[in-house]
Amino acid sequence: MSTVEVSLKSLLTEVEGALGAAVVDYTSGMALGTLGGGKDLDLTVAAAGNTDVIRSKMRTMEMLGIQDKIEDILITLGTQYHLIRPVAGQNGNGLFIYLVIDKGRSNLAMARHHLKRTEEQLEV
């Protein structure tokens, strides 16, 4: 099991082209931890904004009667991929991991793999 800090460091060092990562409580919109980012990527603002994305998708699934879980959400920008992965299990209720990677330097499949592994090992 990994702490929030260890999990974020792992993502930023193991995912080629990683620009920033956060663990976020989507009930409050607060980031429990952030790493990376910068002047063009305010992870605190992104965490709050992506809280709306995940809440909206969950509401939509509920309205449609979809009895499944979200594995991840991908937002593709011109130069970046933004990945949102809800944390499963008892420890992760209400949390998601947010990862931003450079589209030109990253392998999306490998990033998703690392994100899944990080989610499985995260202990809050």
Q: Which tens digit of pLDDT belongs to each residue from 70-79?
A: 999 999 999 9
**pLDDT of 71-110, one tens digit each?**
999 999 999 999 999 998 666 678 999 999 999 999 999 9
Closest of 39, 38, 40, 33 to residue 98, by C-alpha: 33
Q: Average pLDDT, stretch 54-61?
A: 94
State in Å, rounded, how far the first CA of the chain is from the last one: 9
Higher pLDDT: 93 or 28? It is 28
- pTM for the model: 0.93
In sign, the C-alpha dihedral spanning 59, 33, 109, 119 is negative
Of 2-6, 12-16, 22-26, the poorest mean pLDDT is in: 2-6
C-alpha span between 47 and 43 (Å, rounded): 6
Closest of 98, 57, 105 to residue 80, by C-alpha: 105
